[in-house]
């Protein structure tokens, strides 16, 4: 996995878990729910795109890098 992909995933999951307690992060790490069709996944990605752009603009690289260092 590239460092950029890792940092993006870490930042996104951190934001999501700040809003929703008790998420099954292990299940999320496995990818889309197996019950979802390709058409549903395409629609979910289209719906999420504007929020992903907005979230990308809020990410503070130094806080993400600090979280990574704390992990090590």
CA atoms of 10 and 59, how far apart (whole Å): 10
Encode 26-52: b = buried (16+ Cβ within 10 Å), e = exposed: eeeeeeeeeeeeeeeeeeeeeeeeeee
Q: What is the DSSP letter of 72?
A: -
pTM for the whole thing? Answer: 0.67
pLDDT tens sequence across 28-70: 999 999 999 999 999 999 999 999 989 888 776 666 666 667 7
């Amino acid at each position: 996995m590239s460092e950029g992909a890792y940092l993006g995933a870490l930042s996104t999951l951190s934001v999501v878990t700040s809003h929703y307690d008790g998420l099954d992060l292990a299940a999320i790490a496995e990818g889309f729910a197996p019950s979802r069709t390709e058409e549903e996944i395409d629609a979910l990605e289209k719906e999420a795109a504007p929020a992903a752009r907005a979230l990308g603009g809020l990410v503070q690289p130094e806080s993400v890098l600090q979280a990574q260092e704390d992990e090590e």
